[in-house]
């Protein structure tokens, strides 16, 4: 089947991500493309500025450990029940990565501003927090519609260079189905480019199906599609497959040390046959 937006390979997709790009990754429960993260490690990407939307997880730790990342803007970096993200923690302690603290509502608000085409949006809930001292790009003003004494924070629009998502399927028109994770539509609208890996392709146009259309990112916003079976693994993909807790626990154990992390890369990132077997 031929898609109007021609399918590309994972390696070609990774090659299209320039060093230093602002790369947005959804959290582990919301369809990040771990397959693309692995391909970026294999190509030796450098200087990436990651945006967690809004929490960073497995793919972020993998990219940091491989030396692909210069900066992370996020509300947290975690492996969930497997504990702290070990390579992020090590890089932070050693000063090898810059962290721009944010909150979950702040990140979504900045993306919503970009989606709407406005330069900023206001947000409550930040006044009185320490985070404002570390974000000079966030401005506190008096609410112009109040009589006074009502400060509010203005957040600049955030438009990532690239959003990397993993969908369940892409159709013959290039629409990508992400199901109930509708926050990915905002990310797609806000980003300059969307690169999507998918489990499979299907015929027809999902936007013409009332059941599927609400869960689609329109092809209008999608700049590249690559087939990647189990491309979200080891994190979950909706109802397709669950979170591989055993594998993430193995990663967390190995990645506590640089030598262990390199062993993980050799086994699961550079050894494509072993990865496919999983």
pLDDT by residue (tens digit) across 229-248? 999 999 999 999 999 999 99
What CA–CA distance (Å, rounded) separates 64 from 87? 6
Give the residue extent of every domain in the chain.
10-103+158-277
Name the strand (E) or helix (H) holding 144.
Answer: none
What are the CA-CA distances from residue 109 to residues 29, 70, 165, 215, 250 (Å)?
19, 24, 19, 21, 35
Q: Could you tell me if 52 and 77 are in contact, meaning their C-beta atoms sit under 8 angstroms apart?
A: yes
Return the residue matching tokens 């109802």: 239
Q: Residue 110: its pLDDT value, please?
A: 98
Q: Is the pLDDT of residue 3 over 90?
A: no
Q: Could you tell me if 124 and 95 are in contact, meaning their C-beta atoms sit under 8 angstroms apart?
A: no
Q: What is the pTM of this model?
A: 0.94
The β-bridge partners of 20 are: none
Could you please state the CATH topology (level 3) that the domain comprising 10-103+158-277 is classified under. Answer: Glutaconate Coenzyme A-transferase (3.40.1080)
What CA–CA distance (Å, rounded) separates 181 from 8? 24
What CA–CA distance (Å, rounded) separates 238 from 181? 9
What CA–CA distance (Å, rounded) separates 244 from 252? 12
Q: What is the pLDDT of residues 40-74, one digit of tens each?
A: 999 999 999 999 999 999 999 999 999 999 999 99
Q: Is the pLDDT of residue 95 over 70?
A: yes
């Amino acid at each position: 089947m031929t898609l109007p937006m021609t399918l590309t390979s994972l390696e070609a997709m990774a090659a299209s991500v320039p060093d230093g790009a602002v790369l947005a990754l959804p959290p582990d429960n919301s369809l990040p493309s771990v397959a693309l993260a692995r391909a970026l490690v294999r190509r030796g990407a450098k200087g990436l500025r990651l945006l967690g939307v809004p929490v960073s997880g497995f793919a972020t730790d993998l990219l940091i450990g491989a030396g692909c990342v210069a900066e992370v803007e996020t509300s947290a970096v975690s492996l969930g029940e497997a504990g702290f993200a070990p390579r992020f923690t090590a890089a932070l302690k050693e000063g090898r990565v810059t962290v721009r603290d944010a909150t979950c509502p702040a990140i979504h608000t900045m993306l919503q501003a970009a989606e709407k085409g406005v330069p900023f949006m206001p947000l409550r809930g930040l006044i009185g927090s320490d985070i404002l001292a570390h974000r000079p790009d966030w401005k506190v003003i008096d609410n112009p519609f109040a009589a006074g004494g009502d400060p509010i924070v203005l957040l600049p629009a955030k438009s990532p260079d690239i959003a990397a998502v993993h969908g369940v399927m892409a159709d013959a028109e290039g629409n990508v189905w992400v199901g109930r994770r509708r926050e990915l539509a905002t990310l797609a609208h806000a980003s300059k480019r969307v690169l999507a890996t998918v489990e499979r392709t299907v015929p027809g146009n999902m936007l013409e199906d009332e059941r599927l259309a609400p869960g689609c990112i329109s092809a209008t916003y999608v700049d590249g599609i690559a087939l990647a079976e189990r491309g979200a693994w080891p994190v979950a993909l909706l109802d397709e497959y669950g979170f591989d807790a055993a594998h993430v626990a193995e990663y967390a154990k190995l990645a506590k040390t640089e030598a262990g992390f390199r062993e993980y890369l050799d086994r699961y990132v550079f050894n494509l046959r072993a990865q496919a077997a999983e």
